[in-house]
Amino acid sequence: MILKKKNSKWFDDILISPILFIVAFSLFFSVILFLSYNNVKKQQLGAISNLSKDLSAKIELKLKGNLDYINLLANERANGYLSEDTFQTKLKDYLINHPEYINITWIDSNYVIKTVAPLKGNSDIIGLPIELPEPKRASRLARLTRKAVYTKPFEAIQSNSSFEIWIPVFNKNKFLGLFSGVYSTKGILKSCFSDLDDKQIRISLVDEHSKVLGSFSESYSTLEGDVVVVPLVSLDNGMRIKVEMINKNVFGWRIIIFVSLIVVLVLSFAYSLYKISIENRLRKEAQSVLEKNESILKKQNMEYASLNQEYEIQNKILKISKEKAEQSDRLKTAFLANMSHEIRTPMNGLLGFSELLKKPNLTGEEQQQYVKNIEKSGIRMLNILNDIIDISKIKSGLMEVDIEEFDVNEKMDCIYNLFKPEAEFKNLDFLVKKGMSCDEVIIHTDRLKVNSILSNLVKNAIKYCDKGSVEVGYERKGNFLEFYVKDTGIGIPIDRQKAVFKRFIQADIQDRAARQGAGLGLSIAKAYVKILGGKIWVESQPEKGSTFYFTLPMIANQEEKKVAINEIATNKEVIRVENLKTLIAEDDKISELFISKAMKMFGKEIITVQNGKDAVEFYRDNQDIDLILMDIGMPIMDGYEATRQIRKFDEHVIIIAQTAYGLANDREKALQAGCDDYISKPINKDELYGLINKYFLVSTIET
């Protein structure tokens, strides 16, 4: 583009920047010089103004000193303290030392001149009255005001320009006369400024019309300068002091400005030539760089095209991830809504039938029915909470495995007995098929997790089957057992079969297939199967039923978990169960009441405290306690710390931890703190009685 321009245009483009620079720099430099010169002028004007005020004050001080002395002589002369000769002598001496005076005159009360000094040249005025208008006006004004009055400037015979002072003299209130002193303007200036030696300053006294009455420094240059005029206030006769000063270095500043501008122009022109050469070189380099950049841009465009394709692929992946995240949020939202329903429903049964139990005149059959309904609702709520806790443990990696010998046929019988009443209630055939004999079905795995897997699968099968049958069984395939749960229920669409094992999926079903439940059972079953080393899958057709399969290894890979069993000290006296003295540490009143009621059949005495600190203090003072039921979550001091404190002074008392936390490591934490055993809330009476029988045998006392 640059090479296509005309030569004149090219030349203008090259020169316009330097020319603008020259003009701008010249203007800038001129402004700087002007401001500097103006600052010097301002400083000089301030200096001359201050000097004028000082000179004015000096003149007024001089005149005041003269006035004071003359006033003193006048009073002494008027009151007869001085003879005529002495008076003349003092006046003569005073005039010699004060050349600013032309003469001093004494005038009596009739305004007639009586004495004049010096007499030489002035004796002919003695005896003459005051007739001139200005002296006459001033003398009468001085008498009237009793103050010294200065006349306006006038031309005197002895001096070109003079002014006169009139001083009235009184003896008490009697007017005796006036003293008059005639000043020479030049004499005043000479007397006040004899020590001033500055050829660049001229001091003048001027009248009210700016007429020069007298000047000091006559050799003052006629070059232009600054002028300040200050009035002599104390004279009150229109006279002013005028001070003129030559502008210092005015010519020098002009030379500096002129030379500086010439230097700026020369430097600017040289810079312009340099700029032109630089711009020519840069234009050539820019043309070369431009050509190189064009080739680079072509390569980059190809790379960008490739990146765009990658970005499109990434955008598709992100879109899929976003949809999955939105689906997950939707499932969680639906799950929370479903949880609200699942918790409120059994809660409604608990609270509703509890309220009904309060009614009077209930039959025994009605009471038992209400109690069964309350128990059923409680079990349902506990199952929901257990599912939520289990899925949390699985997700956080806290789930542990207890490997032990496991009789499969025995578990199949338990499943049959557990779910047969529920199946019969729905008029379903419930079948169990065992694939191995009793001698072959002992495997090593986690009993509780296998029970949870089978229970969840059978429970789902019964739930989604309205007619027909439910069948559960297993068979051996190599080193694995393959279990199955088959139903003739509503079935699962093919596009939903993988999704059923995901968390919260039950909550996302919006048609008639959505039944009671939290939607966590299959997710828990899948996780447990994976933990135990197997796999799980489903085969199903809508409206024809479903079959869930899962496999378990005959021998698990994990080592058997060894659980330490606290042995009962052999030297501890074994007490009859019905004579226990029990300390219950529980901060919840309802739980405390329930445990107290449950323990009455075993104990002669039950003591309750509400926190761990009270439990420690009570046992320290009453060490005949046989059993401590220690709640873990209490205020002030929790059950773990309370147990540690008690173990410091007693290692043998039986302490059973009870907690509502329900986490995987709660049992281990309780045992580490010093507890003998652990029971989780809600407390089952049979489980509690089993623990008591474990530690307190029903027999005669042994030693």
Q: What does the pLDDT average to over 210-219?
A: 68
Per-residue confidence (pLDDT) for residue 355, from 0 to 100: 76
Q: Dihedral, CA atoms, 183, 189, 193, 196, nearest 10 degrees?
A: -160
Of 3-17, 322-336, 347-361, 467-481, the poorest mean pLDDT is in 3-17
C-alpha distances out from residue 177 to 113, 138, 170, Å: 10, 13, 7
pLDDT tens readout for residues 283-338: 888 888 888 888 888 888 888 888 888 888 988 898 888 887 877 777 676 666 65
For residues 4 and 505, the model is more confident at 505
Rounded to the nearest integer, the mean pLDDT of the chain is 78
Phi, psi of 103 (to 5 degrees): -160, 165
The winner for highest mean pLDDT among 86-95, 112-121, 248-257, 584-593 is 584-593
Dihedral over Cα of 297, 302, 306, 311: its sign: positive
Q: How far, in Å, CA of 212 to CA of 97, rounded?
A: 26
> 229 has which bridge partners?
242
Site of tokens 């005959």: 554
Per-residue confidence (pLDDT) for residue 342, from 0 to 100: 62
Q: Is residue 509 over pLDDT 80? A: no
C-alpha distances out from residue 274 to 24, 266, 271, Å: 18, 12, 5
C-alpha distances out from residue 430 to 71, 412, 423, 467, Å: 148, 12, 6, 11
Site of tokens 């409206």: 543
Pick the CATH number of 577-695 from 3.50.50.60, 1.10.10.60, 3.40.50.2300, 3.40.1370.10: 3.40.50.2300
H or E element, residue 253 = helix 250-357
pLDDT tens readout for residues 363-380: 888 888 878 778 777 776
Per-residue confidence (pLDDT) for residue 590, from 0 to 100: 82
Q: Is residue 81 over pLDDT 80? A: no
The winner for highest mean pLDDT among 144-153, 260-269, 272-281 is 144-153
Query: Helix/strand/coil (H, E, C) string of 88-137?
Result: HHHHHHHHHHCCCEEEEEEEECCCEEEEEECCCCCHHHCCCECCCHHHHH
Cβ-in-10-Å burial (0-12, 13-18, 19+) of 699 comes to exposed
Q: At the topology level of CATH, where does 26-248 sit? A: Beta-Lactamase (3.30.450)
pLDDT tens readout for residues 165-202: 888 988 778 888 888 888 888 877 777 777 666 666 77
Q: Where are the beta strands (DSSP E) in 233-296?
A: 240-246
CATH 3.40.50.2300 maps onto the chain at 577-695
Q: How far, in Å, CA of 115 to CA of 126, rounded?
A: 6
Do residues 459 and 548 lie in contact, with contact meaning Cβ atoms separated by under 8 Å? no
Q: How far, in Å, CA of 568 to CA of 667, rounded?
A: 18
Residues near 345 by beta carbon (within 8 Å), at least 6 away in sequence: 377, 380, 516
* Residue 533: closest CA among 632, 469, 446, 438: 446
Q: Is residue 232 over pLDDT 80? A: no
Per-residue confidence (pLDDT) for residue 23, from 0 to 100: 67
Q: How far, in Å, CA of 594 to CA of 596, rounded?
A: 5
CATH 3.30.565.10 maps onto the chain at 400-553
H or E element, residue 603 = strand 603-609
pLDDT tens readout for residues 449-496: 888 899 889 988 998 898 899 999 999 888 899 999 999 998 888 877
| CATH class name, domain 400-553 | alpha beta
* Residue 58: closest CA among 195, 157, 222: 195
CATH 3.30.450.20 maps onto the chain at 26-248
Do residues 89 and 263 lie in contact, with contact meaning Cβ atoms separated by under 8 Å? no
